[in-house]
Amino acid sequence: MKVKEFINMLDQHKGKELMFSYQQDKLVGANYHLTEVKNVQFDTTDCGGKTNFWEETHFQLWESPEEIEKRTYMTTDKILSILNRVDGIKPLKKETELKFEYGNEDFTTAVMPVRELEWDQNRLYVSLFSEETKCKAKDQCCIEEEEIEAEACCETSNCC
């Protein structure tokens, strides 16, 4: 999901509580805050020698230990006001992929894309998911979707 798509959804669902799930049946606590907006650039070289460049935007969610008993969630209006403030200081890159950074004592901090958005009369639900790592040079490293023998691959590949 692009940043602009997320902002449009917030705008369409003004006044609703904004809730995030980070695993099946696991919600970010109502005590969360949007603590940082990151314009992130990746400038990489994969194992096949190909260079890659892309940008993403990360929204960092943090649960305040001082508000552990809080039961109402931040609203879409509050998030929009934070994003408008941020955009006035450092422009949001609205065409980039949006990911959320989150972790707690039971869940290792991860950067997760949006799987889906759902809503009801009072809430907007953002379902996040953890991505698996991938080899970007599968075609050069002879890595297939199915498991293969590493020795055979290494004989024909520059990656091993």
Report pLDDT for 148: 47
d(CA 160, CA 152): 11
Report pLDDT for 109: 97
Report pLDDT for 140: 77
d(CA 73, CA 101): 18
Report pLDDT for 38: 98
Report pLDDT for 160: 54
Report pLDDT for 138: 79
Q: Indicate yes or no: pTM above 0.95.
A: no
Q: What does each of the 160 residues of the chain score in pLDDT, given as a tens digit? A: 999 999 999 999 999 999 999 999 999 999 999 999 999 999 999 999 999 999 999 999 999 999 999 999 999 999 999 999 999 999 999 999 999 999 999 999 999 999 999 999 999 999 999 999 988 887 777 666 555 445 455 555 556 5
User: Residues near 100 by Cβ (< 8 Å), separated by ≥ 6?
Assistant: 20, 58, 59, 60, 61, 111, 112, 113, 114, 126, 128
